[in-house]
Amino acid sequence: MSGRGFRELRVWQAGMDLVENVYRMTAIFPKHETFGLAGQLQRAAVSIPSNIAEGHSRDHIKEYLHHLSIARGSLAEVETQIEISGRLGYANTPDIDRLIKDVTALGKQLSALRNALLAKSS
């Protein structure tokens, strides 16, 4: 999309940080959740920076916006699954609170990028 690579985008970097933190949190989940909630949470988290990178690498803003929409959907999944993890007692409250703050901040970054792309396309 631009001369800058996706690795330079703060929103992508924040997505990667979220993936790391999700993996750290799910490492302590019960073993019976390895292919359940833990795996689903990890896949949803990985989808966020992956879609940011893919969208950034596309030729058209419309395609970029589509991938950002997928990333936002995955972010909502992650937030919901983090809440479920807390309700089930799989993670402690400070970890849950920190991740929810990260999710909120990343959501704002995704919205800002989306708005910038919409302004550029009009």
Tens digits of residue pLDDT in 36-95: 999 999 999 999 999 999 999 999 999 999 999 999 999 999 999 999 999 999 999 999
Distance CA 32, CA 47 (A): 23
Q: State percent of the chain over pLDDT 90.
A: 91
More confident residue, 107 or 92: 107
- Which pLDDT band holds residue 22 (cuts at 50, 70, 90)? very high
pTM of the model: 0.94
Pick the CATH number of 6-121 from 3.40.50.2300, 3.40.640.10, 1.20.1440.60, 3.30.1780.10: 1.20.1440.60
Task: Name, in order, each residue with C-beta under 8 angstroms of 65's C-beta and a sequence gap of 6 or more.
Answer: 55, 114, 117, 118, 121
Average pLDDT of 100-113? Answer: 98
Distance (Å, whole) CA 40 – CA 107:
19
pLDDT of residue 3: 59
Q: In whole angstroms, give the CA distance from residue 35 to residue 37.
A: 7
Judge whether 49 and 40 are in contact, CB under 8 Å: no
